[in-house]
Amino acid sequence: MTSRFRASEHLNSLSPRRRTVVKAAAAGAVLAGPLAAAIPARAAEAPAFLHGLASGDPLPNGVLLWTRVTPTAEAIPGSGLGPDTEVGWVVAKDKAFTNVVAKGTTTATAATDHTVKADVRGLEPATEYWFRFSAGGTDSPAARTRTAPAADSAVPNLRFGVVSCANWEAGYFSSYRHLAARGDLDAWLHLGDYIYEYGTGEYGTRDTVVRPHAPAHEILSLADYRTRHGRYKTDPDLQALHAVAPVVAIWDDHEFANDAWSGGAENHTEGTEGAWAARQAAAKQAYFEWMPVRTATAGTTYRRLRFGKLVDLSLLDLRSFRSQQVAVGNGSVDDPDRTLTGRAQLDWLKAGLKSSDTTWRLVGNSVMISPFAIGSLSADLLKPLAELLGLPKEGLALNTDQWDGYTDDRRELLAHLRANAIRNTVFLTGDIHMAWANDVPVNAGTYPLSASAATEFVVTSVTSDNLDDILKVPEGTVTALAAPVIQLANRHVHWVDTDRHGYGVLDITAERAQMDYYVLSDKTKANATSSWARSYRTRSGTQKVERTYDPV
């Protein structure tokens, strides 16, 4: 349920089977048992705010606030239990809440899994605010958020955290903790696979389930998806990041099922696991209940946000409208009747990129747009790389789940950028559990003699297994062997790290967009440290990536 208030009007109101080695998550129980036991005893002192606070989709005059209230001990996520509960919210310019600028009420019900949202408007641009919720005399902790700059304002600098692919069972979310500790983020971008759908032990964890999931089985129903989201929202590092900066999120496949497309998924058996349409609808409903994301065009996550004259951010949904992935080598990847984006979304993206008057055009993109050829890898490296990327074991140069499998859409988009002299387009990507810094060539076969239409920064996974995990070798071993071969076969690739986990920090000025890549010491340790790995930037007007040795 979403309520909308204007600050000026409401200051005084209080109203195995088919599974790849590397894709999934799991464990627990749907309604009771292990999950109920995991909830702190204070849930009995209902109501309580056990799943943290969050904000998202910042606008110059507003932001979306989120929480979940547990009104009674039995009202755990996905249970369908618990009474309607009035929830108040308040927004202030200070943490002590002495300068309140907006407040209101909404109702948490079992129909929305006791999640609530407040789409607050009437706020000032580029301003830090504090907010909290209350129910039954209990106040939540305070959280911080920030509005976007005014649309016509000259913005000297923006800084975004960038993350993707967080498998609960594979480790701890230390990346979120380190991003939260920075204190300098205007927002953070989650590029998909915020949750994973698999049952416990069915997804890559280097053979060790670090912490159990809930429910224990593969999630299929609305109750299942709600329970899984609820488990994720108990993570203290995730709660910490949500509490200090607004998130801008898109979904990828694992918010639904592995390699999802408009009519099904690789990890879905029609009939045995119910109808795909029902499963997809359940996943979407739970996502919008549990995430501080505004429902966008056609009930999806594709939408656009603007940050002054410096940046506009186009956010894509590359699962709801796509054609089914095809096998490599049958020529169908070039079929103009097949689509990754859907016609309406591609037209929307092209029009937005062309009409934008900002210095930079960022595209939140869940799967890699840069072409990828394997090259001549040894057999021991080829097999796990093929499993990670969804390639055939024989090593043909294609990943049909990403833009490589939908070349007509890519060709049309890149031609549009070139034909309209649209510069400073940067794709921000997750999905493949590796870090990359790429030019996006119009013709990869002739690059660098031919043009680059854009650039792309790909962030590695928060915890989901990558190549060294699959091979169970020391970190860095695979990168040392595979990266030179990958770069030789892909001359638009400036850097690839196949092994490590972590996050990115994107820093943008009028002169350049720079991605600083950070890596974790050990994803299986709750106290993992973070260190800077590499930095790459693209200078305004160049459409090419270059290395820089100065992290921001």
Task: Tell whether 113 and 163 lie within a shared domain.
Answer: no
Positions of the chain with pLDDT lower than 70, given as ranges: 1-46, 328-331, 375-383, 385-398
Q: Is residue 187 part of a domain?
A: yes
- Tell me what pLDDT residue 482 has: 86
Q: End of a domain among 146, 175, 208?
A: 146
**Per-residue pLDDT tens over the stretch 9-61:** 333 333 333 333 333 232 232 223 334 434 444 444 669 999 999 999 999 99
Q: Three-state SS for 234?
A: coil
- Tell me what pLDDT residue 139 has: 97
Q: Is residue 266 part of a domain?
A: yes
Task: Tell whether 448 and 496 lie within a shared domain.
Answer: yes
For residue 424, give the nearest of 440, 435, 408 by alpha carbon: 440
Contact residues for 309 (Cβ-Cβ < 8 A; gap 6+): 151, 152, 153, 154, 155, 357, 358, 359
Task: Tell whether 141 and 167 lie within a shared domain.
Answer: no
Q: Is residue 432 part of a domain?
A: yes
Q: Is residue 151 part of a domain?
A: no
Task: Tell whether 326 and 470 lie within a shared domain.
Answer: yes
Residue 323: which domain range? 158-548
Tally of domains within the chain: 2
- The helix (H) or strand (E) run that includes residue 324 is none
Task: Tell whether 164 and 141 lie within a shared domain.
Answer: no
d(CA 339, CA 317): 12
Q: Is residue 275 part of a domain?
A: yes
Q: Is residue 152 part of a domain?
A: no
Task: Tell whether 308 and 401 lie within a shared domain.
Answer: yes
For residue 433, give the nearest of 467, 475, 403 by alpha carbon: 467
User: What is the number of other CB atoms lying within 10 angstroms of the CB of residue 266?
Assistant: 18
Contact residues for 447 (Cβ-Cβ < 8 A; gap 6+): 439, 441, 491, 492
Distances (CA, A) of 503 to 432, 435, 518, 529: 13, 9, 5, 12
Q: End of a domain among 121, 146, 171?
A: 146
Which residues sit opposite 254 in a β-bridge?
none
d(CA 531, CA 427): 24
Task: Tell whether 382 and 342 lie within a shared domain.
Answer: yes
For CA atoms 334, 337, 342, 348, the dihedral sign is positive
Q: Is residue 153 part of a domain?
A: no
Task: Tell whether 402 and 495 lie within a shared domain.
Answer: yes
Q: Is residue 12 part of a domain?
A: yes
Task: Tell whether 142 and 34 lie within a shared domain.
Answer: yes
Q: End of a domain among 146, 168, 186?
A: 146
- Tell me what pLDDT residue 329 has: 60
Task: Tell whether 132 and 196 lie within a shared domain.
Answer: no
Task: Tell whether 283 and 232 lie within a shared domain.
Answer: yes
Q: Give the torsion through C-alpha atoms of 330, 332, 334, 337, to 10 deg.
A: 170
| CATH number (domain holding residue 183) | 3.60.21.70
Q: Three-state SS for 24?
A: coil
- Tell me what pLDDT residue 205 has: 76
| CATH number (domain holding residue 68) | 2.60.40.380
Task: Tell whether 108 and 19 lie within a shared domain.
Answer: yes
